[in-house]
Structure 1
């Protein structure tokens, strides 16, 4: 697909308060568009924001975790990984020996990097199509967090 897919978010800093603001911005945009979504933002060792909208399947947290695992493993967006796998006729299981129960190469997870520090967090959305999951993150954050 296009090379313009955002692979990662790079910031000067990342705090738990920023995670809260990011999560709320995504939820606000989803509600404005009448979408039911789940959002998870995690530092690499703990969850700092989690929201699952009414009416979503009880296992939605598993989708969030599986997408986030792909972004953490490859250090790029899960949508970019999905497209690379398709383009090169590879799979997570056969090419990388990654278990389908723990990894899902569908759009909606984007790693957050801090300049001069590396990857510090992952933001994940689920509930829409995988490309829409990816896009809602970018749309919700572009004015406040992207320069």
Structure 2
């Protein structure tokens, strides 16, 4: 992973901040990701959650039960650290550090693979995470962030 990619991922965290994000926005984001994935023929699972509650879930045709493990692990990581799993994967990779090796972020519960992105609200912080599993890590991440970016653009022009 290049430093440029890490810088891009870090910048996204500061850019993707919503003025508000409620259940209507959850539905709009989830439906947007599903629609984009269906058009592309992606066999993915989509999940939007906050601690203790799944707000949106869709398993598209061809997705597998294993993707549930990845969704749960990526979501747990992003919720715990309030960072995208792509930036965490890149930063830990650059350091050559595996947090599971010292018992921090055990593999049974946490996953460091791109595809889970915190949803931030200005003045509030992280209110949920949006997660995709089924593509390569970077593609999972990019699908979520592209849809977040589009939704944010619509929200700020209303």
Q: TM-score, normalised by structure 1?
A: 0.92
1:68 and 2:68 correspond: no
What is the CA distance between 1:7 and its match in structure 2?
A: 3.1
Q: How many residues align?
A: 147
The CA distance in 2 between the partners of 1:34 and 1:59, in whole Å, is 18
Which moved further from structure 2: 55-64 or 111-120? 55-64
- In structure 2, runs of 5+ residues without a counterpart are none
- In structure 1, runs of 5+ residues without a counterpart are none
What is the CA distance between 1:96 and its match in structure 2?
A: 5.8
The CA distance in 1 between the partners of 2:57 and 2:137, in whole Å, is 18
Partner of 2:122: 115
- Identify the structure with the greater helix proportion: 2
The CA distance in 2 between the partners of 1:118 and 1:30, in whole Å, is 28
Partner of 2:22: 15
Contact 2:117 2:145 in 1 (8 A): no
